[in-house]
Structure 1
């Protein structure tokens, strides 16, 4: 039995569909959810729903019973994540889970020097705990998602004609989340992945200037990219009433891109997909054309 955590979120849900597309019977898939009502679509497909919360150790131990492989999708509560992840690993050990696949993030600099250290710290610690545990594990150091790009450049970028981010000429090897999920499903149902770490990135790196040029071509509207100072960028967002947590997140990832933290070339994704990953031009054409 395979248990998918974060089953109602984008990554977990996409992995479930990838497993079904591979012909894995729904009866062999379980979904960890906090609210069964929000997972009625999964239940209707014949997938077993198990109630559990990363903050509730006993619920995890109960939900993990009889599970052979676990997709451990990293928690989205950054402040609580370290403590939550400890509980997940401890519960997996107690439940005698055979193999844990963990979704981490690409890392090419030390946590101490990272512009997104608040995110990387819990990932690095979780990877360390898995290595030191008795569990078989696979760590997926995923690149950032293409799906986050509209949040960064603005949903109405074709109307505004401007991309404004303090990312300078920094580049990213972002990927399509559904393709990460497809690879995750492959790893969950195939052999040879025990105690391995995969960096899953796109072969093609791009900057926001590249994004502006691609959007200009596909929309036939001039889109310009400007890179203000971080403090000016933050002040502008405050004036538009953007919540502080989003301002911090957008700024941190932009600065990480300046430092090259989102740029990492690796062929693992292409190898595991057995095809070329979706390109940034293909993604933007699908979303903004």
Structure 2
């Protein structure tokens, strides 16, 4: 059964699918291999041009996701194994400097000024799903490669960084910018009272957005896959018992009203940042804690 949460951003979150990465499968047996039995090999990093984001080439892999089951019956849904084909993903969230390069070539629009994200290494925010398409289309035209947003399944696979657990780490304080003690200290009294029950013991020194790469990377070498900013994906946000875990429905098309967001933000409590966390907004929506990272076909 799904349980819905309302975040401080006003974005509803549905932790509807428990998912984890299968590091490998025993030959002919279909049994998962323990994370300790298989290490993530060194991955290639590259940039297709001086102003292009740094990319990480990810290998073929798989996810196992559990659906929510039928609404109201209290039963867990079925497990589905989902294969993910090799692709590349940006090492960091797209930054203010990355976006400025696209604006300079008149391929991306100037965005609303965000006082929380004014430095070159801050993630770009106040960007809609539609505007993110301008950026990936610019990269594709500039490089001759196919850039796009990652699908929801690709995003989860990348965020897990080769581990089996729904977090890519044990100590969230070192890996995610969320509403920790620093955030709580800066909040007003009313907000403090509301947050005191859910804020963890982390104290990362960032009240608001952090420059990309300020926290540790996962085992794929990717930073900020949880917290800092919500990230747009290429997929439709579908939730409820009708959802099929392996159905990565496109965000633009018949029957889709909202594009999928992943990972939580600096305004989200530590219990609500993770690879399974998703939300949905209309493609023309933007906010101070929404950004994106890019994918590229091999």
TM-score interval, smaller chain: under 0.3
Counting helix residues as a fraction of each chain, which structure ranks higher?
1
TM-score (norm: length of structure 2): 0.25
Q: Which protein, 1 or 2, shows the higher relative CO under an 8 Å CA cutoff with sep ≥ 6?
A: 2
